[in-house]
């Protein structure tokens, strides 16, 4: 095995199982079976090593995504891309943090590639006449929102993560840059059950009526939250 590949593999493994997302060049050398200066001769710098690890780990993800994407429904591809982005962040938290956290002096090439891939999908969406924003700024918009969601999820302990956050933001941001779905029913309902339940719940929270016992009130608000959450608009 090449020394360079061994170091990359060792660094990737150590990074994956690192609690604080950091690794030491000494540990990498020991695991790869090489001495510390070899790393510096091959990569020059610890930041460059980490950037190489990120690029390496992201390459597989990019390859898989590149191979699977070409559907004839670019909007569905866009949605799939969002979900894949979030899943990659949750699967490789430390790599993802290195990508979208400006700790490195030399930003890894992976973020640029990811943005270009998203831009390509958006170009196809635009060609299908579904985009209301120019593809370039649209890519920035989607990437900012998607990475924000991913980092927000990573920042919360695993138990407190809202499993619907990514889909929620996705279903807000993507329609915000797309033309209305032609398959959707164009009859705009002025008020939905969810909306009415949300409003009533907020009003009751700020002005609690005295005619309810605590248990009744708890049950009522629970039902309102259920209606606000699990109802189609």
Partner DNA sequence: ACCAGGCCGTATCATCGCTAACAGCAATTT
Partner DNA sequence: AAATTGCTGTTAGCGATGATACGGCCTGGT
Contacts to a second copy from residues 16-55, by CB under 8 A: 20-21
Distance CA 82, CA 204 (A): 36
Distance CA 233, CA 217 (A): 25
Specify whether the backbone of 185 is left (phi greater than 0), alpha (psi in -120 to 50) or beta. beta
3-state secondary structure of 131: strand
| 43-62 residues near DNA, rule: CB under 7 A | 45-47
Among 2, 67, 105, 183, binds a second copy (CB under 8 A): 105
Residue 11 or 227: the one with the smaller Cβ distance to a second copy is 227
- With CB under 5 to 8 Å by kind, the binding choice for 86 among DNA, a second copy, none is none
3-state secondary structure of 180: coil
- Position 25 contacts DNA (CB under 7 A): yes
* CB-CB neighbours of 205 under 10 Å: 11
Among 5, 73, 127, 181, binds a second copy (CB under 8 A): 127
Q: What are phi and psi of 144, to 5 degrees?
A: -65, -45
- Position 199 contacts DNA (CB under 7 A): no
Torsion angle of alpha carbons 118, 181, 171, 230, nearest 10°?
-150
Residue 65 or 97: the one with the smaller Cβ distance to a second copy is 97
Residue 74 or 108: the one with the smaller Cβ distance to DNA is 108
Stretch that binds a second copy, among 2-10, 36-44, 54-62, 134-142 (CB under 8 A): 134-142
């Amino acid at each position: 095995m090449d020394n360079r590949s061994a170091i990359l593999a060792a660094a990737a493994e150590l990074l994956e199982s690192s609690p604080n997302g950091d690794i030491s060049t000494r540990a990498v050398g020991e695991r790869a079976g090489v001495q510390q200066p070899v790393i510096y001769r091959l990569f020059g710098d610890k930041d460059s090593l980490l950037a190489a690890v990120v690029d390496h780990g992201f390459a597989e993800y990019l390859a898989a995504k590149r191979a699977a994407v070409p559907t004839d429904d670019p909007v569905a591809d866009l949605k799939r891309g969002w979900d894949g982005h979030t899943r990659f962040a949750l699967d490789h938290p430390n790599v993802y943090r290195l990508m979208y956290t400006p700790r490195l002096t030399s930003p890894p090439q992976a973020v640029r590639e990811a943005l270009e891939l998203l831009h390509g999908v958006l170009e196809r969406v635009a060609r299908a006449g579904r985009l209301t924003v120019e593809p370039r700024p649209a890519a920035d918009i989607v990437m900012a929102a998607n990475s924000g969601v991913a980092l927000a999820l990573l920042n919360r302990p695993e138990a407190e993560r809202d499993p619907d956050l990514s889909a929620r933001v996705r279903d807000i941001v993507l329609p915000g840059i797309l033309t209305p779905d032609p398959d959707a029913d164009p009859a705009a309902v002025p008020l939905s059950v969810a909306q009415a339940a949300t409003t009533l719940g907020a009003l009751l929270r700020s002005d609690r009526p005295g005619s309810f016992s605590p248990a009744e009130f708890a049950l009522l608000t629970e039902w309102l939250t259920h209606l606000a959450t699990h109802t189609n608009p």
